Amino acid sequence: MRQLIYILCVAIMSISCAQSQNKQKQENMSYNKLSPEEEKVIVHKGTEAPYTGEYTNNKKAGVYVCKRCDAPLYRSSDKFDSYCGWPSFDDEIKGAVKRVADVDGRRTEIICANCGAHLGHVFLNEGFTAKETRHCVNSISLKFIPEENRMIKKAYFASGCFWGTEYYFMKAKGVTHTAVGFMGGHVDHPAYQQVCRKDTGHLETTEVEYDISETSYEDLVKLFFETHDFTQTNGQGPDIGPQYLSCIFYSDEREKETAEKYMAILQDKGYKVATMLKPASVFWKAEDYHQQYYEHKGDTPYCHVYKRIFD
C-alpha cells in the first residue's frame, strides 16, 4: 500500500512539474503586443461578436498564424463557409492546435499549441465537410499572411536514404513542402532502380521548400547535421553505396558559406566531417511511392536519429 501511495505521489509531482515548466516556458516566450480587445479574447478567452471578424469571409490563398506568437495554425485550403459568423476550418496544420476541455463542461476549446492563446472551439460531426470537423475561430486570434507575401526558397540535402532525410525535414518549423529524388549524377530522368545500380552518379536527395519568414537556411543546415552520421564515409548506417553519401548541394555562395561555417564548428568539436559540398544541379524527383514514405507508412526511420549538437 505504501509503495502504491509513493508511486502516485511521484506521478502527481511529475505532472505538476511538467505543468509548471510548460507555464514557465510560455511566460518566458516573447509575444506580440496585444490591444485590449485582442487580449480579452486571446488571453481571457472571450468571444468576438459573430459576423464582425476580419477573416469571416476571407477567401484569399495564404496561411493563418497566431496573433500572439505568429505560429502557423491553418491553411486557407482548409477554410470553408459554415455561415456561423466566424471563420471555419476543417483541419489544422499538424501539431499547431491543442484541444482542451472548456470550463463550461460542454464544449472543446482550441488553443495555440505554441503559446496557449485562445482560438475558439471545435465541433464534430456536423456534416459541413467530409472531415466532419469545424474549428470555429475568432478572427481577432489570427493574422493572415497572403500566399504572395510568403517567401519560399528551396534547399537540397543528401544524408543517406532519402526516406529518413525527408522524415525530419518535413516536420521542421517553416518547411512548407518536401520531395525526394536524385541529384549530382550524369543520367537524365534516372529511375530508382538505375540509381540503386550505383553507376549514375546520383545521390538520394531531399528537396526542402521553406518559408524564410519562419525559418532560415542556417536552421536547416543544423537539422541536417543533427539527424545523420556525417562522419560516415561509405554510406549511412546499414545503407552502403555512393548514392547514400552525405552531401549539401548549395545554390549560391551564401549557402556554401553557411555550410562551411557549421562544418568548421563540427571540426572544432572534434568531429571528422565527411559531408561533401557540391553546387546544386538538376533535381530529378523520385517515383511517387517514395514521397513522404514514413508519413504514409506510419513508421520511423531506421538509420536517421535526431541528436542535438548545436546550442
DSSP assignments along 8-48, one per residue? HHHHHHHHHHHHHHHHHHHHHS------HHHHHHHTT---P
According to DSSP, the residues that pair with 134 across neighbouring strands are 123
| List of the chain residues with pLDDT < 70 | 1-30, 149-150
Domain 151-297, architecture per CATH: 2-Layer Sandwich (3.30)
Nearest to 300 by CA among 163, 156, 158: 163
pLDDT of residue 111: 97
pLDDT of residue 214: 85
Distance (Å, whole) CA 167 – CA 164: 5
Q: Are strands 62-66 and 142-146 parallel, antiparallel or unpaired?
A: antiparallel
Distance (Å, whole) CA 208 – CA 220: 9
Distance (Å, whole) CA 283 – CA 178: 12
Distance (Å, whole) CA 25 – CA 42: 18
Active site (annotated) includes residue 161: yes
Choice among 66, 136, 247, 303 that is catalytic = 136
pLDDT of residue 30: 66
pLDDT of residue 295: 83
Q: Does the pTM exceed 0.75?
A: no
Active site (annotated) includes residue 247: no
Domain with CATH 3.30.1060.10 in the chain: 151-297
Choice among 66, 161, 247, 303 that is catalytic = 161
Domain with CATH 2.170.150.20 in the chain: 33-148
Task: Output the CATH code of domain 33-148.
Answer: 2.170.150.20
